[in-house]
């Protein structure tokens, strides 16, 4: 029996480990098959998503409570994105990754909802943040913007529009 078999096996294992290390090192510690599953790549870390709610037609920017609320208390009815061919990841990326709501960013998000359609009722876009605290998950929602059929209103508090805003910070600001 020659030693080329074990040597070849060790070489293959070495190559596989090198490729794996290269992939993990270039993707911020996440091996791509697991990076799409947050339960593997980000378990226990705070998370941010977007929720869109349809509010009554008479809703105005002045009538909205712009403060952060527990998720159970969000206003309006769920606005389904998939039936309207709106990619939920696009909405989530706009809301969770935008710190500076320049006019172009605001229009970009609005265009997701108005491309090839008109708004019949106002839509309230929330940034929803979940945090693991003492064996329970705390989920809060902050209104980011209101899309009325003819205009767009940002949350009047610049601090509430930023990514670092939390329930405690929003409550302290009151």
Range with the poorest average pLDDT among 27-36, 69-78, 139-148: 27-36
Query: What is the average per-residue pLDDT within 123-127?
Result: 94
How many Å is the maximal CA-CA distance in the chain? 84
In this predicted structure, the answer to whether residue 146 has a pLDDT above a threshold of 90 is yes
For residue 160, the model assigns a pLDDT of 75
pLDDT confidence of residue 136: 87
Q: How far apart are the C-alpha atoms of 23 and 115, rounded to whole Å?
A: 38
**Residue 165 confidence (pLDDT):** 43
Which range among 7-21, 23-37, 47-61, 112-126 shows the weakest confidence by mean pLDDT?
23-37
pLDDT at 62: 93
70 contacts: CB under 8 Å, gap ≥ 6: 139, 140, 141, 167
User: Above 90 in pLDDT, residue 52?
Assistant: yes
Flag whether pLDDT at 17 surpasses 90: no
CA 157 to chain centre: 19
The number of beta carbons lying within 10 Å of the beta carbon of residue 41 is 16
């Amino acid at each position: 029996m020659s030693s080329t078999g074990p040597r070849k096996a060790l070489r293959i294992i070495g190559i596989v480990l090198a490729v794996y290390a290269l992939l993990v090192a270039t993707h911020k510690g996440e091996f791509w098959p697991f990076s799409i599953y947050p339960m593997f790549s980000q378990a226990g870390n705070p998370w941010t998503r977007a929720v869109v709610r349809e509010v009554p037609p008479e809703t105005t920017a002045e009538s909205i409570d712009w403060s952060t609320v527990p998720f159970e208390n969000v206003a309006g009815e769920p606005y389904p994105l998939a039936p309207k061919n709106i990619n939920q990841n696009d909405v989530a990326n706009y809301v969770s990754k935008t710190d500076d709501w320049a006019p172009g960013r605001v229009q970009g998000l609005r265009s997701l909802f108005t491309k090839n359609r008109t708004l019949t009722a106002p839509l309230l876009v929330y940034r929803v943040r979940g945090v693991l605290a003492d064996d329970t998950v705390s989920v809060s929602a902050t209104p980011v913007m209101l899309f009325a059929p003819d205009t767009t209103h940002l949350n009047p508090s610049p601090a509430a529009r930023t990514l670092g805003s939390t329930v405690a910070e929003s409550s302290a600001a009151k």
